[in-house]
Structure 1
Amino acid sequence: MDDEPAIPTLGEADVPALGLGTMGLDTPSEAEAVTAALEMGYRHVDTAQIYDNESVVGDAIAAADVPRDEVFLATKVWADNLGYDDVLSSTRESMDRLGVDSLDLLYVHRPIDAYDPEETFAAFDRLREEGLIRRVGVSNFSVAELATARDHLDSPIAAHQTEYHPLFARPELLEDAREHGTVPVAYSPMAGGAVTRVEEVVAVAEKHETTPQAVSLAWLRAKGMAVIPKSSSADHLRANLDAVTSLTLDEEDVARIDGVEREVELYPE
């Protein structure tokens, strides 16, 4: 593992720029990808209560030959658990399933259903004060919702997770992140495979003799985003690691992809 390329960290929160998304890794055999990724050099694992896989993800982290304090572990509180007491109890249940005594990052998954900024974030602040979570994050927020969250939080918003890829860009969220020192984290960074059919992305990939998937990750990294692609294949895990640590796009490449007409949002509210 000592020879693996170093993954940079972002922001004051030191969020690793590459993580493994785990939605759909539901069985012990599927979750072996978590163990493989960590032993390959990944240090960021992202899961969620709604994925219903925290137990197998936790087991896979424990199976890796990597100390727990080197793994940046994030999970998300689902929408029906966002009342004050439910945040506290469900987070402890998540930690029990994951087999850990603290979380590196805890997100509000979506600001819907039981979400109430005052109650929800009072509970998040309490968890941080008690040392059960190290960082507070939010996911799928608008700029206005981010502002409201900051009004109700004592803790800084360390990370904002959002769908972002060449077919769905929200530059106003990147501007907000830069202004407030928040790390933007892109999920579905390859648009569910659709980037392989985007002419501009394919052209940049041909120029660099690489894949459209790698270009998509490099484009997001050029924008200062962390990325959390899901993969269960060792070859894909390696390719994603190489894209983040070794592939650099020039300004012309980035501008070409910026010019793509956006049309695909995979996970609307």
Structure 2
Amino acid sequence: MLFILFLLLSLSLLLLVALLVLVERNILGLLQIRKGPNMVGIYGILQTVMDGIKLLLKQYILKSTYGLFFFIFSPVLSLGLALLNWVVIPMPAVLVSNNYSVLFTLFISSVMVYTIVWAGWGSSSIYSLVGSIRAVAQMISYEVVIGFFFLFFLMYFKSFNWEGFFIFNQGSYNIFFFFLFFLWFIIMLAELNRTPFDLVEGESELVGGFNVEYSGAGFTLLFLSEYVNIWFMCSITYVIFFGLGVSFFLIFFFIFILVLMVVFLRGTLPRYKFTDLIFLTWIILMPFVVFILMIGTGL
């Protein structure tokens, strides 16, 4: 029974990824005033479907490399971990109730770093390897900040369970939390490798990043895991800051608004420099988050 529910959850998430791709293409086309995939068929629906079919049917090129196993396994593991993250999130009902679901989320997030390392190293390409190194440096830096951020909420809500966050935060709104939301949103964009922090895929210097050697099904799985993670991080944001009720439609509405914010930023902000990104992490955000942790636990 649990496997069937997980399968239904996975299919629902894949449909949400298709919806996100469709919405993102239309919004970017409008923001940049250009014709593209958003103009084919009815609001680009046919283009999105055909692109998905093309990616799945495209030849999956396997190079004779020393990391062939990792080259094949890393996209599968990446999507599997992205889907596994959802089993402990109350949206509005939790699939697997766990008293330490927050730690489970941090564990999955840490393991996902290895999938990027294996993808870049297994490709036997300098461009892929440099892209994976940059991705790991960025993700590890911001995971440290996320860990301190979660530590504040763990102490504030006195719970290691996402369901505890969901219950207690209904009466805990104040100005301090609204300020934390904007700080968290910056950290979330960097963790997701989204604009203005999409330095993992800087086309001018990395030719696509760690996944440049992937095609067909391998690229599709990496692409799906990235967009599933966007929905997941926006869902976490809702659980922490916007626990306004248990209605499924209300939850989806708020999460969709957060996803739209991520998409709008992609069409409006320029890309950051990598050195500035690391500087922002360790020199600005890290001391700031530690200071919040020191003064905020008394709230």
Please, what TM-score do these two structures have when normalized by structure 1? Answer: 0.33
Choose between structure 1 and 2: higher strand proportion: 1
- Structure 1 or 2: larger helix share? 2
TM-score (norm 2): 0.31
Q: Which has the higher contact order (CA 8 A, sep 6+)?
A: 2
